Amino acid sequence: MINTLSSLLHRAGISLSDQQKHQLVSYVGMLDKWNKAYNLTSVRDPQQMLIRHIMDSIVVAPYLEGRKFIDVGTGPGLPGIPLSIVCPHAHFTLLDSLGKRVRFLRQVQHELKLENITPVQSRVEAFTDEPLFDGVISRAFASLQDMVSWCHHLPAAGQGRFYALKGQVPDEELSALPEHLVLESVISLQVPDLEGERHLVILKQQ
């Protein structure tokens, strides 16, 4: 697994320490083990998890601005756990409404000794924190409209951004955004061995 991950990282032009690689592989091992009882992800093959979960998450890292982020609807910690491993100087709140997922996240936090994550069980509309966040990240929200509507209270005024991980460019969603949102950029992401398109949509509130 380490060799496979090293090869994928090399092809993506990403450099990580041996410790970071071991943490990522250990996370995949935990995901695989807990998945059998908790049904955390539809991806069953650990080799595919490296591509579709780990690489698909960490290619976003170079585009994140700031040090305090929230991963809304994180599920089993995607993309928050991989990002917390490759961005050790940033802090990630991992928010999910399902208790079994948050229990898994706390176990990951304990076993991998991740000091820069805070797993939280809550509905996103009911959660807030001080200070507010530099970035609100989402990988599995239904639409940009829902993300912005449910998370409008989370990004810090002026500098806070929304980071939405998408497949194809969501042109219809982008054309229907409210006026107080500015589309900062749409970035095409390259994930080795992953079929289909991947894009990062970055929005900012005026």
Give the pLDDT confidence of 26-80 residue by residue, as tens digits.
Answer: 999 999 999 999 999 999 999 999 999 999 999 999 999 999 999 999 999 999 9
What is the token pair recorded at 201? 């949509």
Integer Cα distance of 205 and 179 in angstroms: 9
Q: Is 139 marked as a binding-site residue?
A: yes
CATH number corresponding to 59-205 = 3.40.50.150
- Domain borders along the chain are 59-205
pLDDT at 205: 87
Report the candidate in 72, 59, 73 with the shortest Cα–Cα distance to residue 13.
59
* Contact present, 145 and 176 (Cβ < 8 Å): yes
Give the pLDDT confidence of 74-86 residue by residue, as tens digits.
Answer: 999 999 999 999 9
**Dmax (CA) of the chain:** 47
Q: Is 125 marked as a binding-site residue?
A: yes
**How far does CA 42 lie from the centroid of its chain?**
17
User: CB 82: neighbour CB atoms within 10 A?
Assistant: 24
The length of the chain is: 206
Integer Cα distance of 155 and 159 in angstroms: 8
- pLDDT 10s per residue in the chain (206 long)? 999 999 999 999 999 999 999 999 999 999 999 999 999 999 999 999 999 999 999 999 999 999 999 999 999 999 999 999 999 999 999 999 999 999 999 999 999 999 999 999 999 999 999 999 999 999 977 799 999 999 999 999 988 999 999 999 999 999 999 998 999 999 999 999 999 999 999 999 88
Measured CA distances, 40 to 13, 34, 60, 137 (Å): 29, 7, 22, 19
